[in-house]
Amino acid sequence: MFFVATAPLADGGHVNLSPKGMDTLRVIDPDTVAYVDLVGSGAETIAHVRENGRITLMWCSFGEKPRIIRVYGRGTHLVPGNPHFEDLLTAFPPHQNIRSIIRIGATRVADSCGFGVPEMTLVGQRSRLARWGEGKTHDQIETYKRDNNTVSIDGLPAWEG
């Protein structure tokens, strides 16, 4: 599990913080990470990355050893049909409902203590997102993205499908 944080440039815009799970993240090279962006109820990360590129990824240890890792960087939103999307897609297992790939060029990596983070035990992965898409056709998913993912809550352009 990791978290993705982005924000628009405008004062008063909403900072977004999204939890991510499943097998969706890859280290591409020493300066680049990427993750598969799955269809969801909003598209804040896409909108913010398109607007200004600023993005931070964070991992927390919920186990015995407290630790937090952050990757600060510049993100790029890659969509199906883009040659970079197609190249990166081969690094990931098949996922239902892939919307895009977010590629991050790291500008800083930092670690810190996680003394305030609770210890927790993983019960398991949720399957609801995959099940949501299993009964839908490609056209139904495209319609969902068009209806729910084309603008951010601040009115910034997001998914362009």
CA distances (Å), origin 19, targets 26, 70, 72, 89 = 16, 14, 16, 21
Among 43-47, 96-100, 117-121, the range scoring the smallest mean pLDDT is 96-100
The per-residue pLDDT for 25 is 97
| pLDDT over threshold 70, residue 87 | yes
Rounded to an integer, what is the distance from CA 117 to the centroid of its chain?
22
**Which residues, at least 6 apart from 116, have a Cβ–Cβ distance to it below 8 Å?**
none
The per-residue pLDDT for 160 is 80
pLDDT band at 119 (very low <50, low <70, confident <90, very high): very high
User: Rounded CA gap, 2 and 157, in Å?
Assistant: 25
pLDDT band at 131 (very low <50, low <70, confident <90, very high): confident
Judge contact between 11 and 67, C-beta under 8 A. Answer: no
Give the gyration radius of the chain's Cα atoms: 16
Domains detected in the chain: 2-148 (2.30.110.10)
The per-residue pLDDT for 161 is 64
pLDDT digits (tens, 9 = 90+) for 99-115: 999 999 999 999 999 99
pLDDT digits (tens, 9 = 90+) for 39-84: 988 899 999 999 999 999 999 999 999 999 999 999 999 999 999 9
Strand order from edge to edge, sheet including 25-29? 16-20, 2-6, 54-60, 68-78, 98-112, 32-38, 25-29
